């Protein structure tokens, strides 16, 4: 039983639903039908000054992957310098976002609206490349936040933001070719395999996509977007429904 659940239960028991939002710390999150809820973390567009934060998340993930039965990220691809240059380019182009837990970088994602033809091309790629999509890269959650569902929420946030900004209909991601456990993870999140990269030497060549229509607005968001255009098209539950749900889980 967490603090948020206790607060919701107390609010419901004392008829103080109007104060439920004020009882929770954090930032205003996605809009609701009955008023805003709050989220403990925020996501913000990163810049080149955050290169160290992103590289730190990569190193954290790489150290963990070494303990697993996978060759993913055994070595930076194709070199350290070229990997770092890709990361920096994403930051400079405004495509990289970081989820912040206070001053701690909890997760990162880089989003593109155009596909890389060296990775996504016919005939080995079987999806409809004429459909608008968001392409997710470097989706990394710090290990201390593993198991929180933060990565799944980031995927759906990217898709919903892509639909709002660019009318995207698909969320697409290229996954490490030999990491079948990661393939299974994305399938469990609604992704479908859609072929592979035509270059057999490209290590992240397993292609997956998911309809944006299947992205879920979370009942209890973990983060909110701090840009001025963070409104989503779908409402989430109102404050009263949130309190009732929390009371039922105590």
pLDDT tens by residue, 159-195: 999 998 999 999 999 999 999 999 999 999 999 999 9
Decide if 158 contacts 230 (C-beta within 8 A). no
Give pLDDT < 70 ranges for the chain: 1-37, 226-250
**Rama region for 73: left / alpha / beta (φ>0; ψ in -120 to 50; rest):** left
Q: What is the pLDDT of residue 176?
A: 94
CA 86 to chain centre: 19
Residue 166 dihedral angles phi and psi, to the nearest 5°: -130, 10
Q: What is the pLDDT of residue 232?
A: 35
Residue 179 dihedral angles phi and psi, to the nearest 5°: -90, 80
Alpha carbon separation from 166 to 59, 131, 139, 170, 206 (Å, rounded):
32, 11, 20, 11, 25
Please name the residues in contact with 2: beta carbons below 8 A apart, sequence gap of 6 or more: none
Q: How many whole angstroms separate alpha carbon 58 and alpha carbon 81? A: 14
Question: Of 177, 145, 41, 166, which is closest to residue 95 (Cα–Cα)?
Answer: 166
Q: How many whole angstroms separate alpha carbon 181 and alpha carbon 163? A: 28
Q: What is the pLDDT of residue 100?
A: 95
pTM (2 decimals)? 0.77
Please name the residues in contact with 126: beta carbons below 8 A apart, sequence gap of 6 or more: 194, 195, 207
Domains of the chain, first to last = 1-38+230-250 (no CATH), 41-221 (3.40.630.30)
């Amino acid at each position: 039983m967490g603090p948020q659940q206790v607060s919701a239960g107390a609010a419901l028991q004392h008829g103080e639903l109007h104060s439920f939002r004020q009882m929770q710390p954090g930032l205003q999150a996605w809009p609701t039908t009955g008023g805003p809820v709050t989220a403990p973390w925020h996501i913000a567009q990163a810049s080149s000054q955050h290169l160290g934060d992103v590289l730190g998340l990569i190193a954290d993930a790489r150290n963990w992957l070494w303990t697993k039965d996978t060759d993913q990220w055994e070595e930076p691809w194709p070199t350290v310098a070229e990997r770092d240059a890709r990361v920096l380019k994403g930051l400079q182009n405004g495509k990289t976002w970081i989820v912040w837990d206070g001053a701690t970088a909890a997760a990162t994602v880089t989003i593109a609206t155009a596909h890389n033809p060296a990775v996504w091309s016919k005939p080995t790629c079987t999806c409809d490349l004429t459909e608008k999509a968001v392409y997710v890269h470097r989706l990394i959650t710090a290990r201390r936040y593993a198991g929180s569902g933060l990565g799944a929420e980031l995927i759906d946030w990217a898709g919903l933001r892509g639909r709002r900004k660019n009318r995207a209909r698909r969320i697409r991601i290229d996954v490490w070719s030999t990491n079948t456990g990661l393939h299974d993870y994305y399938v469990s999140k609604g992704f479908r395999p859609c072929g592979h990269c035509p270059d057999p030497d490209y290590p992240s060549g397993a292609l997956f996509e998911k309809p944006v229509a299947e992205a879920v607005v979370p009942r209890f968001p973990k983060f909110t977007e701090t840009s001025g255009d963070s409104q989503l098209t779908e409402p989430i539950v109102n404050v009263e429904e949130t309190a009732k749900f929390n009371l039922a889980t105590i």
